């Protein structure tokens, strides 16, 4: 556990890091970035908390079991979207033209409408869940191992 100054600043900063990560995930289909990058940003927030508060403290609120559930659901969202297109073909983008993320952006330079892309933003979201939970679990496990603790199985 680090000094009180570091802990207080980390407490404030984590909010911004999480929002930035979510921003990158949600805008994945219109700007550089996407599910993996945003998830990695969120996981870096977890790293900051582990450094500031120590892995023992973080372990109480961030359980490996729960992270593993989130990770699996992220993967399931991704493949579920692919299966949902099976009416036409596997991975068919069935949401284009519907009210959900259905907009079709104009060709050429455009302001970057988020409400486009069909299943791609949803898949980005799934990947983001998987990466943030998976990377956090890996880092937490490594932090706990280096202290000589066993993770729960």
Which residues are at the interface with another protein (CB under 8 A)? 68-69, 71-73, 75-76, 79, 82-83, 85-86, 88-93, 153
Q: Least distance from C-beta 73 to another protein, angstroms? A: 8
Q: Least distance from C-beta 75 to another protein, angstroms? A: 4
Q: Least distance from C-beta 60 to another protein, angstroms? A: 21
Residues 6+ apart with CB under 8 A from 135: 39, 40, 43, 46
Q: Quote the DSSP letter at residue 102.
A: -
Exposed (0-12), middle (13-18) or buried (19+): which is 16, by Cβ within 10 Å?
Answer: exposed
Q: Least distance from C-beta 74 to another protein, angstroms? A: 9
Nearer to another protein, 25 or 120 (CB): 120
Question: What number of helices (H) and strands (E) belong to the chain?
Answer: 5, 0
Nearer to another protein, 45 or 126 (CB): 126
Exposed (0-12), middle (13-18) or buried (19+): which is 65, by Cβ within 10 Å?
Answer: exposed
CA atoms within 13 A on the CB side of 7: 8
Q: Least distance from C-beta 110 to another protein, angstroms? A: 20
Nearer to another protein, 42 or 120 (CB): 120
Nearer to another protein, 52 or 71 (CB): 71
Size (the chain), residues: 153
CA atoms within 13 A on the CB side of 47: 12
Nearer to another protein, 51 or 82 (CB): 82
């Amino acid at each position: 556990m680090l000094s009180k100054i570091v802990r207080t600043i980390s407490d404030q900063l984590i909010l911004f890091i999480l929002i930035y990560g979510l921003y990158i995930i949600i805008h994945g289909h219109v700007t550089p970035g996407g599910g993996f990058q945003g998830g990695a940003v969120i996981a870096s927030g977890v790293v900051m908390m582990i450094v500031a508060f120590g892995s023992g403290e973080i372990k109480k609120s961030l359980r490996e079991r729960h992270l593993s559930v989130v990770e699996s659901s992220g993967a399931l969202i991704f493949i579920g979207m692919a299966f949902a297109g099976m009416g036409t073909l596997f991975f068919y983008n069935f949401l284009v033209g519907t009210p959900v993320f259905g907009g079709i952006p104009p060709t050429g330079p455009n302001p970057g409408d988020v409400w486009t892309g069909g299943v791609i933003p949803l898949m980005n979201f799934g990947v983001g869940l998987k990466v943030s939970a998976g990377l956090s679990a890996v880092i937490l496990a490594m932090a706990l191992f280096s202290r000589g603790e066993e993770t729960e199985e």
